[in-house]
Amino acid sequence: MRRAAHEGFNVRASTSYQPLQEKESALLVSHMLQDPNGWDDHLKRSAASTVLSAVYGWLPIDSSADSLVGRINEMMHRVVQACLPGAFLVEIFPSMLYLPDWMATWKRKGKDFFRKDTAMFEELLDDVRNKMNSGSSTPCFAATLLEGEKKFMLNNQEAAWLAGTMFGAGAETTAAALSVFMLAMTLYPDVMHCAQAQLDAVIGRGRLPTFDDRPNLPYIEAMVKEILRWRPVGPVGLPRRSMQDDWYKGYFIPKGTIVVYNTWAMNRDPKYFPDYDEFRPERYLDSSGQLAEAISDTHSLGHFTYGTGRRYLRPTFTYIHVKGFARICMGKDVANQALFIDIATLLWAVNIEKARDKNGEHIIPSRTDCLDEGLVVYVTLSHVQRFC
Ligand code: HEM
């Protein structure tokens, strides 16, 4: 599965999604201008639509309330709730695994969800297969999976789940990161003006930003990193199980312990980020304004919001010999691309300001205006934003 996912979403393959990401960013700006107060819905629609196109080759969808998006989001919501440490007693009392179904509601529910979700994902994959057979399919991750059925050694159900999981993992997280961008722009207008000055100098007013501009827009690249570092959309990592007995700073960690890495704290380590609470993209730039060498030990990303990486050697983390797939997001290159082009296009087109109250005074958004949706944290500011 990892190999298949890597093939569809590695750094080189990710560039094939750039044309659709450019189109989606223009559509996002157009929706924002038509209906500024609905900014939150536009971000969700745009992220869902981009990932659906990348995974299933769909045309842009109209609304974040599209019934399929709703169904997949509902499924992901269940998954993230289940991932929260301590969500089920069986984590604490593993012997409960052996209870028969009729005594364990969680087992019955799990099986029922699995049946329904499998039917939904298989239907989506069949749709791509039918299009391929009739010669009307567009390049997408599901098509790559079907073309490489033998190479990847996945059965139909596994391929269907892999594609469906890609959507679930990518849509909500990207939309949430964009909501953090909105919060940052209202709190740090100077950063917005700096980014806009670079956009004006590099692009001017005659055309929209494209991916070709990426090497010339280091400030926007730095903003993407800072958005992910400053308010990680997943403040805690996915739970893992230690595979051997270990010691860490005098604490014994027995084999089989569930370990959760603290993304929030790691992104705010004062050793690397002395003014960690400030939103300051400049921390990722060198004195000539170019992207600086990676901040020490953050596996070149500059934060841990995509996970910790396989070869992570920072002292605070060496004890984690974990069982699981990756320790890094498989879609990080597609996500970084989406954030880059959406932020560049939005800031090229609009100013983002605090709304004003009845007396014309700015309403100051709280730094903690957030909504916890399981493992993913959204910023919720719908009443305090406006564009001009
Ligand atoms: C801002 C956006 C995103 C964030 C913050 C994010 C974050 C993460 C994190 C923290 C993990 C868990 C890493 C670990 O500890 O194992 C993960 C895994 C994953 N992500 Fe993302 N993600 C984002 C976007 C995406 C996108 C756009 C896709 C695909 C289109 C995607 C696909 C995946 C997949 C498939 C995994 C599971 C990897 C594995 O276990 O092998 N993500 N992501």
Domains of the chain in start order, with CATH, are 2-387 (1.10.630.10)
Characterize the bridge pairing of strands 322-323 and 352-354: unpaired
Q: Is 168 helix (H, G, I), strand (E, B) or coil?
A: helix
In this structure, which residue's CA is closest to atom 27 in ligand 1? 170
Query: Partners of 34 in the beta sheet?
Result: none
Hey, is 158 helix, strand or coil? helix
Three-state secondary structure readout of 276-308: CCCCCHHHHECCCCCECCCCCCCCCCCCCCCEC
Q: CA nearest 267: which of 328, 225, 239?
A: 225
**Do 164 and 120 touch, CB atoms closer than 8 A?**
yes
Ligand 1 neighbour 51 (Cβ under 6 A): yes
Interval between CA 170 and ligand 1 midpoint (Å): 7
Which residues belong to the annotated binding site? 329
pLDDT of residue 279: 97
Binding site membership of 301 for ligand 1 (Cβ less than 6 Å): no
**Among 162, 329, 378, residue to substitute to test ligand 1 (most atoms within 8 Å of Cβ):** 329
28 within 8 A of 43, measured Cβ to Cβ? yes
226 SS3 class: helix
* C-alpha dihedral (32, 34, 40, 46), degrees to nearest 10: -60
How many helices (H) and strands (E) the chain has is answered by 13, 9
Task: Say how many residues make up the chain.
Answer: 388
The helix or strand, by DSSP H or E, that contains position 313, with its residue range, turns out to be none
Give pLDDT, residue 277.
94
Q: Is the CB of 173 under 6 A from ligand 1?
A: yes
Could you give the 3-state DSSP secondary structure of residue 266? Answer: helix
Give dist(CA 374, CA 234) in Å, integer. Answer: 9
Those residues of the chain that have pLDDT short of 70 are 1-2, 63-66, 85, 294-299, 310-326, 365-388
User: Which amino acid is residue 213, in one-letter code?
Assistant: D
Q: Cβ(307) to ligand 1 under 6 A? A: yes
Residue 321 zone, left/alpha/beta (φ > 0; ψ -120 to 50; rest): beta
Whether residue 327 has its Cβ less than 6 Å from ligand 1: yes
Ligand 1 test: best mutation among 18, 173, 259, most atoms within 8 Å of CB?
A: 173
Q: Is the CB of 381 under 6 A from ligand 1?
A: no
Ligand 1 atom with minimal separation from the 177 CA: 1
CA distances 94 to 5, 81, 99, 104, 298, Å, are: 31, 19, 10, 13, 34
Ligand 1 centroid vs 319 CA: distance in angstroms? 22
Which atom of ligand 1 sits closest to the CA of residue 308? 15
Q: How many CB atoms lie within 10 A of CB 292?
A: 16
- Listed in sequence order, the residues at least 6 apart from 237 whose beta carbon sits closer than 8 Å to its beta carbon are 260, 261, 262, 263, 304, 307, 308
Q: Is 345 in the pocket of ligand 1 (CB under 6 A)?
A: no
pLDDT of residue 383: 40
What does the block give as tokens for 81? 């709730």
147, 229, 274, 315, 378 from 134: Cα distances, Å = 14, 45, 58, 55, 41
The tokens for 177 are: 């990161």
Structure tokens at 360: 């014309």
**CB 270, CB 263: distance < 8 Å:** no
Regarding the beta carbon of 170 and ligand 1, being less than 6 Å apart is answered: yes
CB 203 less than 6 A from any atom of ligand 1? no
Protein residue with least CA distance to atom 26, ligand 1: 170
Smallest CA separation from ligand 1 atom 18, residue: 329
Residue 330 in contact with ligand 1 by CB distance below 6 A: yes
**CA–centroid distance, residue 173 to ligand 1 (Å):** 8
Residue 165 Cα to ligand 1 midpoint, Å, equals 10
CB of 306 shorter than 6 A to ligand 1:
yes
Give yes or no for residue 162 CB within 6 A of ligand 1: no
Q: Quick check: 161 and 175 in contact, CB under 8 A?
A: no
DSSP 96: G
Q: Which residues pair with 258 in a beta bridge?
A: 241
Q: Please enumerate in sequence order all residues whose Cβ is within 8 A of that of 181, keeping only pairs 6 or more positions apart, or say none.
A: 223, 227, 339, 343, 346
- Give the DSSP per-residue string, 16-72: GGHHHHHHHHHHHHHHHHH-GGGHHHHHHHHHHHHHHHHHH-PPPPS-TT-HHHHHH
Q: How far is the CA of 250 from the centre of ligand 1 (A)?
A: 32
From the CB of 26, is ligand 1 less than 6 Å away? no
Backbone angles phi, psi at 71, to 5 degrees: -65, -45
